Amino acid sequence: MLELRDITAGYARNAPVIRDVSLTVAPGEAVGLLGPSGCGKSTLARVAALLHRPDAGTLVLDGEPVRRWRHRAPREQRTAFGVVFQQARLSADPRLALSDLIAEPLRATGRREGAADRVGELAATVGLTADLLGRRPHEVSDGQLQRACLARALVLRPRWLVCDEMTAMLDASTTAALVRVVEDYRAATGAGLLAVGHDRALLDRWCDRTVHWTALTAAAAGAGTSSG
Amino acid sequence: MAEAAAEKAARPATAWRSYGAKRRSTRALRLRTSAALVALTVLAVLVVPPLVQLDQQAVDLAAKLQPPSRQHPFGTDDVGRDLLLRCVYGLRVSLLVGVAAALTATVVGTAVGAAAGALGGWVDRGVMRVVDAFSSVPHLLLGIFVVAMFRPGVWPVVVSVALTHWLSTARIVRAEVLSLRSRPYVDAAVSGGASRWRVAVRHLLPGVLPQAALAAVLMVPHAMWHESALSFLGLGLPTHMASLGNLIQSARGSLLAGQWWPTLFPGLFIIVPTLAIAGLAGAWRERINPRRRSELML
Amino acid sequence: MTGRAPVLSVRGLSVRFLMPGGRRVAAVTDAHFEVRAGECLALIGESGCGKSVLASALLGLLPGNAQTAGSALLGDLDLLTADERTLSRTVRGRLVGLVPQSPAAHLTPVRTIRSQLQETVAALTPARGRAALRAAAEAAAERAAFPADHLDHHPHELSGGLAQRAATALALVGDAPLLLADEPTTGLDRDLVDRTVDELRRHVDSGGDGGEGRALLMITHDLAAAERIADRVAVMYAGRIVELAEAAAFFGAPGPRHPYSRGLLDALPDRAFTPIPGLPPELGALPDGCAFAARCDRATDTCAVLPPLTGTVACHHPHAALTEAADRARTA
């Protein structure tokens, strides 16, 4: 269970981007969060993935309240999330070849043995060929790079996936391919998904339920408090 | 298959037009000229002194202040020392001071800037106040102050130049770290379980090193000028050492008497290598600039 | 199809890049198409298929290691051979208006929309004098439906939609007969995409000399945006145009004829949502035959030979064309 309760978060003091927002994702559930760009839905996704500390509110992960974010969060909690961002170019360290990019979480957590096999297996899953794996980000297209970023998100076998506008910059075929990879992974592992986006047709097709951002904020404004 | 071959033969060969070739060639010319001049400079200061068994300090009062000739291509100074040899030795000292000062300043600046940018919070605020305070004092004044505390010599000058030049590197590195820190790839590393140290060493530092190295190279000419200025004021290297600043300083009197060579050649020895180094650094900057990195717009 | 003369006529346009080590990358190969006044041609394809390189070639913005072949005639002027001086003085803004990919990056951040519009007006039109410039800038903003009370704002104070309108207003100032929109909807919400492309369509239908409209070449990977406003669709794959069809037939019945185009449409979430298997080929190592054959379920031995663009489609085994018009085009 991933529960966001009355989350208020932002990047400057006294100017929260989101205010008192609550959202729950059940285990194995796929929730689409639909909203216009700049509304704060990405911030909520970052809070959910333990990447941004909220100013107020609680995040309950599998029944346990989260108290620390980013580096301060325990490693097992952080790595329970696989995250994919909108802009593959900015989400990839420009100096790492794609195979190193995918293997980086394995190395960072000290699981070096078998890393090469795992990278090869994931590359096949996301549809990257062997010669692409040796290239660096500026030598591949946006679509190919986003495939690698998705493989990196899956490499530690996370229990939760947070896809923040994962396909907004991609063409229809790559979008369909990446969504299929995510769904195959979820079917195999039972992972939950929070997919943030602005394309209603896509989220409706992809997710079990789609929540509109305005409904979330209206609930916060109307009910004052909600119990998640 | 045969049809295809026939079709290929029948089709007129595509007439390709090059695009922007001119722009590329001027860039290449600049790069080559700069590289050649820098190579020449380095070669001169490394090879000439051990190979040429001449004493740069050899005084020949019979041949003092001679204009350039076959025997003395750059002429001689007011005590008859060969100016070409003096210039080469002077360049050697200036370059040594410049490189040493630039390296010191870069190491200090990178460490301070990276720490400020990566740690943030009160560390960042405190460090940047110090940087601001140092920056508010004129460079040359601060440099003179430092040199005046020691006996004349190479190392006080290096320290003086380094102390006044690490500030800009610290600023550049801090800004770069701050901009990299907010990139999604750092978020992805955090989510992938990377420790704070790993993020700093594996993802942030490699990203700023090209910028820091570029700043270091650009600082060499700065430091050379700074050394020359200090020496010209009589505060830098001891007067018996042939530094370019000292050479110009001691040639002041003869310039008024119409003897141009003791001023011109040391001056050129400052200007040409510094321009060449700056040119090389400029070409390098174009390479590491991410906007230019991908010439293929895919 | 109207009998109007084409505004832009691209004939055999090819662009290749010379890479270090003598490698050659064929980004665009032998593209033929026309755009007429009052018509919107959408150039669609996956990222990396060469469509943005084609746009750069038309604007004279290729990097130094590029080589071009063929011609792109805008009236009597060949955009590929024109020198930088001609391009900057008579082409950009005056003959070709560019609607940029990210308006936020296209607008100068430190100046108000009004001052940027006035500067462009002063550069591109005969209007002179403070009052005339002011009036012309306001008229330009109105044409792009940019609200007059936001003219004194800086770009960062505008929403994405308004920034896009401001950029469009700048593109329209010179009253250029050809509008070139390079991924104008990337990163915008669906509502905003619809509004942006509807406005582009409005500019196609109005304006231009004698009211016959402007020509619009829209380069996009957003098929829904293309479906909404395009008259014709050109599908690009691995640097070649593989299908050039009427939009109504392409998106409706009988649908696309090239297997690749069909795959693209089937990948849409409101259709089959099925990806095309495999990856596009490297532009630096294209096969001799049909570049799509490796991913195509209709491929046979004949696909080892490059299929020419006959009629509307470059394929040895196209899907059936049910309409008479397409049949005629095929036999022609």
A206 part of a folded domain? no
A69 part of a folded domain? no
Size of interface B-C (CB pairs under 8 A): 55
Q: What is the pLDDT of residue B56?
A: 65
Contact A168 C187 (CB under 8 A): yes
Contact A141 C48 (CB under 8 A): yes
What is the nearest CA distance from A45 to chain B, expressed in angstroms? 12
Residue with tokens 């669609």: C44
Q: What is the pLDDT of residue B6?
A: 45
A163 part of a folded domain? no
Q: Locate the domains of chain C by residue range.
A: 6-85+183-331, 96-175
Q: What is the pLDDT of residue C33?
A: 93
Partner residue opposite B183 with nearest CB, options A51, A90, A104: A90
Fold of C6-85+183-331: Rossmann fold (3.40.50)
- Compute the distance between CA of residue A31 and CA of residue A33 in angstroms, rounded to an integer: 6
Which residue in chain A is spatially nearest to C158 when comparing CA positions?
Answer: A38
Q: pLDDT of chain C along its 332 residues, tens only?
A: 445 678 999 999 999 988 877 788 899 999 999 999 899 999 998 877 888 889 889 988 888 788 899 999 998 899 988 888 888 888 888 889 888 877 777 788 888 999 999 988 888 888 788 888 999 899 888 888 888 888 998 888 887 778 888 888 888 888 888 999 988 887 677 777 888 888 889 888 876 555 667 899 999 988 989 999 999 999 999 999 999 999 999 998 788 999 999 999 999 998 899 999 988 888 888 888 999 999 998 899 999 999 988 878 899 988 876 554 545 555 54
**Contacting residues of A for B298, CB less than 8 Å apart:** 141
Contact A174 C47 (CB under 8 A): yes
Q: What is the pLDDT of residue C12?
A: 92
Q: Which residues of chain C are at the B interface, by a Cβ-Cβ cutoff of 8 Å? A: 12, 14, 16-17, 19, 25, 27, 47-48, 52-53, 56, 62-70, 80-81, 283, 288, 304-306
Q: Which residues of chain C are at the A interface, by a Cβ-Cβ cutoff of 8 Å? A: 45-48, 159-160, 186-192, 221, 223, 263-265, 267-270, 273-276, 278-280
Residue with tokens 């060499």: B220
Which residue in chain B is spatially nearest to C238 when comparing CA positions?
Answer: B298
**Residue to test with chain C: of B24, B26, B295, most C Cβ within 10 A:** B295
pLDDT band at A210 (very low <50, low <70, confident <90, very high): very high
The answer, yes or no, to whether the previous bond of C254 is cis (omega within 30 of 0) is yes
Q: What is the pLDDT of residue C322?
A: 56
ipTM for the complex shown = 0.89
What ranges make up the beta strands (E) of chain B?
A: 17-18
Which residue in chain C is spatially nearest to A181 when comparing CA positions?
Answer: C275
Question: Smallest Cα–Cα separation from B191: which of A67, A87, A104, A51?
Answer: A51
Partner residue opposite A152 with nearest CB, options B192, B196, B290: B192
Amino acid at C53: V
A:54-113 residues touching chain C, CB 8 A cutoff:
86
What is the nearest CA distance from C130 to chain A, expressed in angstroms? 37
Tally the domains of chain A.
Answer: 1
pLDDT band at B23 (very low <50, low <70, confident <90, very high): low
Domain of residue A97 covers 92-157
Q: What is the pLDDT of residue C332?
A: 47
What is the nearest CA distance from C172 to chain A, expressed in angstroms? 26
3-state SS string over chain A? Answer: CEEEEEEEEEEECCEEEEEEEEEEECCCCEEEEECCCCCCHHHHHHHHCCCCCCCEEEEEECCEECCCCHHHCCHHHHCCEEEECCCHHHHCCCCCCHHHHHHHHHHHCCCCCCHHHHHHHHHHHHCCCHHHHCCCHHHCCHHHHHHHHHHHHHCCCCCEEEEECCCCCCCHHHHHHHHHHHHHHHHHHCCEEEEEECCHHHHHHHCCEEEEHHHHHHHHHHHCCCCC
Question: How confident is the model over C280-295, as pLDDT tens digits?
Answer: 888 888 888 999 999 9
Contact B297 C63 (CB under 8 A): yes
**Residue to test with chain A: of C19, C221, C262, most A Cβ within 10 A:** C221
A136 part of a folded domain? yes
Contact B207 A95 (CB under 8 A): yes
Q: Tokens for C269?
A: 């979430």
- Between B224 and A158, name the one with better pLDDT: A158
Q: What is the pLDDT of residue A160?
A: 95
Partner residue opposite B17 with nearest CB, options C17, C52, C69: C69
Question: How confident is the model over A137-153, as pLDDT tens digits?
Answer: 888 888 899 999 999 99
